[in-house]
Structure 1
Amino acid sequence: MQESKPKNNDSLAIVAYITLIGTIVAFFLNRENRNTLVTFHIRQALGLWLLQMVLGYFIGAFDSVMLSTSFWIFFIVLFIYGIFSAVGKKMNAVPILGPFFQKLFASI
């Protein structure tokens, strides 16, 4: 009988940033064998997705191309920063909002 090594699920940190469904999938797959890197990035991604949806609802009501473009660029930059942090296996919080997301979702 072979002993199985604990599965390294660092790739779930990247999956967390790919749509809100990816965040939910990463959350449930990380529950059994908790990985601190994955948990950190799940919190970051969940915060980004939820904030984007809430703010997007209100930004869409203004019907301003300049405001909408600024909104999308802001969130695309934050998501790219988070993805590169996950690829590099680093726990870098996204600028401005990252520490708030870590406190808000500390129970995850």
Structure 2
Amino acid sequence: MDNKTLSIVSYITIFGWLISFFSGKDKADGLLRYHLKQSLGLVISTFILYAVLNVLFLITELGFLVGLFGLLPWVLAIIGIINAANEVEKPLPLIGKMFENKFSFIG
């Protein structure tokens, strides 16, 4: 797979990220490295968000509202896929700036 395709695949769950990371680590360009960082940040943020939402769901009666926030990672993943498909290095809304300079093991 080329780097553009790997960039897109990296946003499809943690398994997509692992496939992209290990398939492209030897031939990674700036685009792939950027989207690997963004998508890993999204995965980490998703785990944290879902943990918080589960606690809120248990202690509040606002299940529907809490459930709506659960859609946020899917929306961010779609935005990331669109950016990767257009070969744009644009940070994800809300969380992208936090992860631009993190994860030095990616490159």
- State the TM-score, normalized to the length of structure 1: 0.84
Cα deviation code 1:8-63 (max 9, x no counterpart): 43210000001111101101111111211111111111110111012201211222
Q: RMSD value over aligned CA atoms? A: 1.5
Q: Cα offset for 1:65?
A: 2.1
Mapped partners of 1:8, 1:15: distance in 2:
11
Q: Which amino acid is the alignment partner of residue 34 of structure 1?
A: A
Counting aligned pairs with the same residue, the percent is 29
Are 1:60 and 1:68, in contact at CA under 8 Å, matched by a contact in 2? Answer: no
**Structure 1: gaps of 5 or more residues:** 1-6
Instruction: Say yes or no: does 1:38 pair with 2:32.
Output: yes
Of 28, 51, 54, which aligns to 2:22?
28
Higher Cα Rg: structure 1 or 2?
1
- State the TM-score, normalized to the length of structure 2: 0.84
Are 2:38 and 2:92, in contact at CA under 8 Å, matched by a contact in 1? Answer: yes
Moved over 6 A (4+): none
